[in-house]
A and B are shown apart, each in its own frame.
Chain A
Amino acid sequence: EAQVTQNPRYLITVTGKKLTVTCSQNMNHEYMSWYRQDPGLGLRQIYYSMNVEVTDKGDVPEGYKVSRKEKRNFPLILESPSPNQTSLYFCASNLRLGINNEQFFGPGTRLTVL
């Protein structure tokens, strides 16, 4: 089944404790991105990747890192989480932005930073 998976689905952590949220897609998509969703603010893009080893900042990249070593995986790294990073995070993939723009979203990761 074609899908985007994220892990963990729920995470409660403390300020400053490094964490990684994994994202994987099995559709051979080139484009992947991370969004955070906060009430009243919609979906804001954190980072995106056009292809392997090609990543760039989205609208709200501060406090986050990403890597794209393989086409299928796009982990989101919070080196030193802070309470303002408490949010619902979505990973999404797309065949190739500009050609077919349907974004496939993962199920989401709800992160709480205490």
Chain B
Amino acid sequence: GQQVMQIPQYQHVQEGEDFTTYCNSSTTLSNIQWYKQRPGGHPVFLIQLVKSGEVKKQKRLTFQFGEAKKNSSLHITATQTTDVGTYFCAGQVGSSGSARQLTFGSGTQLTVLP
């Protein structure tokens, strides 16, 4: 079945440093989403990428979708303590009408040291 690999599993950074997490899918995706889960909380939707090579920004967060639509990355510039949490990607295979499932990556747990 479809697999979505995410690395690294853990990342510790000093406040102010940058952070990047990567996702790779075994199959071509129709779209990919990113979620953030704060400690003790539930996943919260951040963004969805649909187009090949798409780049989207949300303040200090930059999301990219690869040209082949099989990989994606989330980059945080100048991390803050509020960025602490686990970041998940979730890939979907199949377009509208045929979509059935999202497959989540295993997540990257980010710790920001003050």
* Physical interaction between A and B: yes
Chain B interface residue count, Cβ-Cβ cutoff 8 angstroms: 30
Contact of A48 among B30, B35, B42, B101 (CB under 8 A): B101
Given A42-B105, A42-B107, A107-B42, A98:B97 Cβ within 8 A? yes
Residues of B within 8 A of A50 (CB): 100
Do the beta carbons of B99 and A90 come within 8 Å of each other? no
Interface readout for B32-55 with A: 1 if CB under 8 Å, 0 if not? 010100000111110010000000
Given A42-B106, A106-B42, A107-B42, A101:B48 Cβ within 8 A? yes
Which positions in A face B, CB cutoff 8 Å?
Answer: 33, 35, 40-45, 48, 50, 56, 58-59, 90, 92, 97-99, 101-108
> A92-B43, A103-B35 known; 13 other A-B pairs, CB under 8 Å?
A42-B105, A43-B43, A43-B104, A43-B107, A45-B101, A45-B104, A59-B1, A90-B42, A101-B31, A101-B33, A103-B102, A107-B41, A108-B42
